[in-house]
Amino acid sequence: MREILRFHPLYQERVWGGRALATSLGRALPAGDPIGESWEIVDRPEAQSIVQGGAHDGQTLRSLMARHPADIMGPAWPGDRPFPILVKWLDCRERLSLQVHPPAAVAAELQGEPKTENWYIADTAPGAELIVGLRRGVTRGQFEQAIRDNTVEHCVHHFRVAAGDSILVRSGQVHAIDAGNLILEIQQNSDTTYRVFDWGRAGLDGQPRQLHVPSSLRSIDWTDFEPAPMRAAPTSGVIADCAEFRIRRAVLGAGERLHLRAGEQPRLLSVVSGTVRATGEGGGTRAPFGLKLNRGDNVLAPLAGAFTFSAEATTIMLVTENFSG
């Protein structure tokens, strides 16, 4: 398998979502309730990415992982092991709930999955914020009292963001995304979220959304105070590095190229601004013209293939790697 894999997005209705995936990324969204998430690359029992175009058009990521694990991930990867990363776009028209994902040490006890994730801010409204971690000095007892008093907002760490900023949110860090942010989320393959507080909001059905306070309190890292984001920069460099993955920002001027050699490792490529042409060995994954990737596109480059990404204008790509164990 030596072809770049591109997938159909899976759109998810969310009470806090909107239509920014259409207005900012040019997507054709389904009509109806607000769209908060687009699952771009996913291999889970309840959600499967389906290949869009090319030799594997219409096949699921799971079927490809089962038949070609060595080509996609490497010779040691079992065919029944899921793809380890989930990539999403988040349109946060309203603030998300205050939540936490369980750390590995307690996830099994709570029958959940750990989830470390990285947020890249593609667009943001003036004054929009993120919430990650606790305010310095806040204790578990103070936090629990604040839940009862509806004053949790004063216990968590707020900071403003701009387009191009990012932050790594580890399992155990309490967090929320403020209204007005369009975010590319690259995360462990997990869908375990515990809501600790939801600002008094009702769900799409008009009823209060379920909270998971005991599980949240068990999961929160009570020593995590005021983490700092990675601020936007006009240069290439690593923006996130953890045990689960590494993300590099690749800034390409018009005509510049990014080369991936065959046999190194699988990688995910995310275009967050600009446009590139992706070609492979022998001239292209879609010979003779190659595959055009625009802002918002996310693709999987299997380990077995060699690929070149050529920028048509100034382009920023995120390269996710080091996730194959």
pLDDT in tens, 30-60: 988 899 999 999 999 999 999 999 999 999 9
| Angle CA 271–276–282, to nearest 5 | 125
**What residue ranges of the chain have pLDDT lower than 70?**
282-289
Domain(s) labelled CATH 2.60.120.10 in the chain stretch across 5-219, 237-321
Q: pLDDT at position 203, please?
A: 78
Residues identified as active-site: 195
Class in CATH terms, 5-219: mainly beta
What is the torsional sign of CA 285, 289, 295, 296? negative
Class in CATH terms, 237-321: mainly beta
Residue with tokens 């860090």: 173
Q: pLDDT at position 281, please?
A: 76
The secondary structure of 1-60 as a DSSP string is --S-EEB--EEEEEEEEESHHHHTT---PPSSS-EEEEEEE-EETTEE-BB-SSTTTT-B
| Pairing state between β 156-160 and 181-188 | unpaired
Q: pLDDT at position 283, please?
A: 55
